Amino acid sequence: MLLVFEKLFDKMNPEEQRKIVESLIAEVHLHPKETWKEGKNPIKEIKYTFPVSQEVIAELGDTLSTVETIVLLQRQHT
């Protein structure tokens, strides 16, 4: 199921998605709010309801970076 999770998750409605996420996560620990910096993940630790190897947790941690891109396209009239 984990191999096709994204495909299944995308077919769920928002209420089903919320329920599945709630069932997979036991606890979320955040860094203190005053230490939050722009671009840095405020999540300190996530405890799942199922066993996850330390290698997977390390991959999901602060070592990953994300990029958000916004593009404005305009048609030029000549």
Mean pLDDT by 10 residues, the chain (78 residues): 78 91 89 81 85 74 57 73
User: What pLDDT is stored for residue 61 in this prediction?
Assistant: 61
User: What pLDDT is stored for residue 44 in this prediction?
Assistant: 85
Rounded to two decimals, the pTM is: 0.53
* Residues 66, 50: Cα–Cα separation, whole Å: 25
Residue whose C-alpha is closest to residue 43's, from 59, 56, 60: 60
Size (the chain), residues: 78
User: What pLDDT is stored for residue 15 in this prediction?
Assistant: 92
User: What pLDDT is stored for residue 33 in this prediction?
Assistant: 85
| Helical segments of 1-78, H only | 5-11, 14-24, 54-60
